[in-house]
Amino acid sequence: AAAAAVVAMLVLAPVLARPVVRVVVWPLAQVARVVGPIARENALRAPRRTATTASALMIGLALIAGLSVLGESVKASVREGVADELTSDFVLMTGTTAPVPAPVASAIRSLPTVASVAQVSTVDLGIGDFRTAAAAVDASDVAENFDLVVEDGQLDALAGHAVLVDRATADERGWAVGDALTGEVGTLASVPLTVGGVYRDSQAFASHVIVDRSLYREVLPAVQQVDGQVFVRAAPGADVEDLRAALSDVVQPYLVVSVQDRAEFVEAQGASVDTLLNLLYVLLLFSVVVAVLGIVNTLALSVLERTREIGLLRAVGVLRRQMVAMVTIEAVATSAFGAVLGVALGLGLGTALQQGLVSEGLTTLAVPWATVLALLAGAGAVGVLAAVVPAVRAARMDVLEALTAAA
């Protein structure tokens, strides 16, 4: 569908060139009243060439805009889901793959201002061809630190070899409450398991399966039992700032462990998405470089074809700076045309992807308007940059030689 949309836009681009270019050039034509209309008509003289020149920029910006919408929607969905599901006041984590040192949870439990501590670990789990990193936590800790909605079965069924499965996995695998399964958990094979409950797909628990910590301790040697995250809920009436100071004192010997409140933890969930998006943006910027070269080549060819016309304009009094402005407006018109179509296409693709992934947990559509405005403004800068060489060449053209060469 995405490829079909891109092809359709490329086909329609020559038809859209005239109305779009007239709109984007209108402000510049009002400022440069002498050469602005000439530049506009030059850009519209060959709409197919203008559309072809802008196609590289259009595709590049469409991909960037589409990824921006998808990435922002992922972050918004994760943050919204975690904010709704998390009832803890603080989260202790390292921010890396390193675990939270074992003494941390024990020390926190002894604080008088702490009501509950949820130690969340992970363990490899496989059932047939299904593989996941299951979350290991006590049912009582889940109830006190998370708003986990169990749709079938009971939360307190999480004990021993009973496991909880999220709705998406249960539907995909055909599992139901009470089903007996056999799987590989941690270091043990052929472990008997029972589906104790099916919970609504959760953003707080990244895993598709939750196991009891007693099973976690059974299938892993003590040296491999570590906490990935520690969730802390304050006692009723406790001062959260005092509790934060106490938690900071506990983790002070462990430089890698940070203390985050609920808002900070929710915000941090989008950091990994930003890192991936930034990498993709850098790769897509190469398409912008190609677009600049394409605009430069087209303008250089256009200036060469209009040698006599440029000579006539100079002969009737058009100044060098006006000639530079005229070529620059042509370049900006081409780049702005590509940007408008590209951003519109990207927003459409990003929205379609988000809607198609609602069932996978991408429930919130978020449009990064700041990024959209930056792309449109950047397209203008691309046009100005691409116009430098052709504009200077046109401005420096000798009037008599220009008229003679084309005679």
Q: How many CA atoms lie within 13 A of 355 on its CB side?
A: 6
Which pLDDT belongs to residue 54? 84
Collapsing DSSP to helix, strand or coil, 384 comes out as helix
Crossing angle of helices 271-305 and 369-395, in 10° steps, is 20
Tokens matching residue 264: 């900070």
| Whether pTM exceeds 0.85 | no
Collapsing DSSP to helix, strand or coil, 174 comes out as coil
Tokens matching residue 400: 């008599």
- DSSP assignment of 118-163, as one string? EEEEEEEEEETTEEEEEEE--HHHHHHHB---EEEE-GGG-STTEE
Which pLDDT belongs to residue 161? 94
Tokens matching residue 18: 């005239």
CB 326 within 8 A of CB 303: no
Q: How high is the mean pLDDT in each 10-residue block of the chain (407 residues)?
A: 66 81 84 81 82 85 88 82 83 82 89 92 92 92 89 92 93 93 91 93 84 93 88 91 92 88 80 76 80 84 84 85 88 89 90 82 85 88 87 84 68
Crossing angle of helices 320-356 and 307-315, in 10° steps, is 130
Crossing angle of helices 271-305 and 307-315, in 10° steps, is 80
Non-local CB neighbours of 77 within 8 Å, separated by 6+ positions: 203, 361, 362, 363, 364
CB 393 within 8 A of CB 303: yes
Nearest to 5 by CA among 394, 341, 388: 341
CA distance 61 to 69: 12
Collapsing DSSP to helix, strand or coil, 195 comes out as strand
Place of tokens 């988000």: 354
Nearest to 129 by CA among 86, 165, 181, 89: 181
Crossing angle of helices 369-395 and 320-356, in 10° steps, is 150
Q: How many residues does the chain have?
A: 407
Instruction: Please state whether 189 falls in left (phi above 0), alpha (psi between -120 and 50) or beta.
Output: beta
Q: What is the 3-state secondary structure (H, E, C) of 20-66?
A: HHHHHHHHHHHHCCCCHHHHHHHHHHCHHHHHHHHHHHHHHHHHHHH
Q: Give the Å distances, CA to CA, from 302 to 128, 177, 239, 275.
A: 65, 71, 71, 41
Which pLDDT belongs to residue 181? 93
Which pLDDT belongs to residue 298? 84
Which pLDDT belongs to residue 1? 58
Which pLDDT belongs to residue 79? 78
Interior angle at CA 67, CA 63 and CA 72, nearest 5: 155
Place of tokens 């953003």: 203
